[in-house]
Amino acid sequence: MLEIFQYGFALRGLVAGVIIGLIAPLIGIFLVLRRYSLIADTLAHVSLAGIAIGFLLNVNPIMTAMISTVLSSVVIERLRISKKVYGESALAIFLSGSLALAIVLISLAHGFNVGLLNYLFGSIVTVNQSDLYIIGILGALVATVLFLFYKELVYITFDEESAQVSGIPTRTINTWLIVLAALTVSLSIPIVGVLLISALMVIPVVTALQFRQSFGVTILIGELVSLFSVVAGIFTSFYLNLSTGGTIVLISLAIFVVSLGFKKR
Amino acid sequence: MPVDHTQNIIEIEEVSFAYNEDLVLEKVSLNIHKGDYLGVIGPNGGGKTTLIKIILGLLKPSKGVVKMFGEDIHTFKDWTRVGYVPQKVINFDVNFPATVYEVVAMGRFGKIGLFKNLRKEDKKIISDSLRQVEMYDFKDRIIGDLSGGQQQRVFIARALAGQPDVIFLDEPMAGVDVQAQDQFYHLLKKLNHELELTLVFISHDIEAVVNEVTEIAFVNRALTYDENPKKFVKSEMEKLYGDKKFIHHHNHA
């Protein structure tokens, strides 16, 4: 029998991984097509500050990560709409600002460095039972909201101005998208880690785009690539004793490189 | 039967618009009637795009009143009556993963409303719209793989799928080759005549538009309106350039 299933933590990690593997490309496709891939990376750094706050206050770091990413995502979107700063500058400000905050918080409280390392690079060991519940519930929430706004999101992503003219509440839906992205980032952190989460949202989608298929089929391919990378990554890292997040991302990258050869034009 | 061109569907009264201190539109008034085929022309930077964005509710005028189908634009909710074909061919993502059918389906979304899916009758309307522009056979193709002219017809089909009363076309010929342009003008004429669809055609290419449209509005901060486009443009050009023959023959038989 497969040894991996004898360990509770490994099984929890696998379940959490599958949930994240399903959600990440669903959000990712909208971010990638709107040239907003970097938002995932920015939110990941914000969540690092959130995690540091969690450690400092001794509460579940996923919860603090979630709150800080959701709040920041709304502020980033406001800044972008207000045109006071360029969209990408808003991202850069939040990325470096939250990283700075995280570092200062970490230096304030010594001694939690090992746990933090797991959050940086992801490890299936990190996922405890209450994390799994949070990931499960939020994952279901993200999937449900995406499903409800699916057709509007597709329209806005393709042609925001026309969508607005046809009476679709583009602003509300844009805010939802970025909040969902924030939730997805924070719940993915235990598995893939802060530094690698954006890869899981972006690489499977970019891979799927190489096949030039319909929107529906593209999502399906992205899901398959993502799920395969997550499951294969968890197994490989378990047996070869490698970093989970790193292995997952490397596997998805390998699939992406292969997909480049398939490109038909 | 000729269309009754007296019923106002869009009324613009003394609309002004300024970007910061810069006055782009000054006391512009215009009535668009049911069945009109209105050309909105003028130099780039003259304010025609601003005017259209105001009519479409994308910009708020600094002064003046806009009424859509008799209702003030601030309270107007029935946006599905308005179709829009953006200046898309030159600035859309050719790698976007969507089939022609998926693009045209978007035109139904405003009508269906949130949280609902395409029903059987929506699918029929989508197919009919594709046939209307003679693009049904391309429905499973990826939009980015089509030529500029074909893409533009798909965007027309998307607007038609919303079953609007009026369609705004913003520089629709940008990125479309000359042969496809003739076909495109023919299609627009057909929509205007057979479906009695009101069309508003925004272009900086005065020559091309003047032979097609039945009303013309020249926008350059102020607005001049005429129901005889050819005569209007000829007299304007004569004012500018003397009586040199300026308008080339550009018939679309």
pLDDT per residue as tens digits for the range A62-73:
899 999 999 999
Tell me which residue in A151, A162, A216 faces B84 most closely, judged by beta carbons.
A162
B118, closest residue in chain A (CA to CA) = A151
Q: Is residue B1 part of a domain?
A: no
Q: Is residue B86 part of a domain?
A: yes
The whole domain housing B26 covers 8-241
Q: Is residue B3 part of a domain?
A: no
DSSP secondary structure code for residue A241 in this structure: T
Per-residue pLDDT, averaged over A134-146, amounts to: 93
Tell me which residue in B110, B117, B158 faces A168 most closely, judged by beta carbons.
B110
Most confident of A33-37, A194-198, B229-233: A33-37
Contact check, Cβ <8 Å, B109/A148: no
Q: Is residue B56 part of a domain?
A: yes
Tell me the pTM: 0.89
Q: Count of CB atoms within 10 A of residue A5's CB?
A: 10
What mean pLDDT value characterizes chain A? Answer: 89
- Over the stretch B45-72, which tens digit does the pLDDT of each residue have? 889 989 999 999 889 999 999 999 999 9
User: What is the pLDDT, as a whole number, of residue B116?
Assistant: 85
- For tokens 């540091």, the residue is A52
Q: For residues B165 and B170, give the distance between their C-alpha atoms in angstroms, rounded to a whole number.
A: 17
Tell me which residue in B57, B92, B97 faces A214 most closely, judged by beta carbons.
B97
Tell me which residue in B56, B98, B117 faces A158 most closely, judged by beta carbons.
B98
- Over the stretch A179-228, which tens digit does the pLDDT of each residue have? 999 999 988 888 888 878 888 999 999 999 999 999 999 999 999 999 99
Residues of A contacting chain B (CB within 8 angstroms): 33, 148-149, 151-152, 154-155, 158-159, 161-168, 208-209, 212-218
Overall domain count for chain B: 1
Contact check, Cβ <8 Å, B86/A154: no
With bands split at pLDDT 50, 70 and 90, how would you rate the model's confidence at A114? low
Residues of B contacting chain A (CB within 8 angstroms): 56-58, 77-80, 82, 84, 86, 88, 92-93, 95-99, 102-103, 105-107, 109-110, 112, 114-115, 117, 140, 142, 144-145, 158, 162
Q: Is residue B155 part of a domain?
A: yes
Q: Measure A180 CA to nearest chain B CA, in Å.
A: 17
Per-residue pLDDT, averaged over A125-134, amounts to: 84
According to DSSP H, which parts of chain A are helical? 8-33, 38-57, 61-82, 87-108, 113-121, 129-148, 150-158, 160-165, 170-192, 197-209, 215-240, 244-262
User: What is the pLDDT, as a whole number, of residue A56?
Assistant: 87
CATH class of segment(s) A7-198:
mainly alpha
CATH, residue B23: 3.40.50.300
Q: Is residue B177 part of a domain?
A: yes
User: What is the pLDDT, as a whole number, of residue B1?
Assistant: 44
Q: Measure the CA angle with vertex B160, ends A145 and B15; round to 5°.
A: 90
Contact check, Cβ <8 Å, B114/A149: yes
pLDDT of residue B43 exceeding 90: no
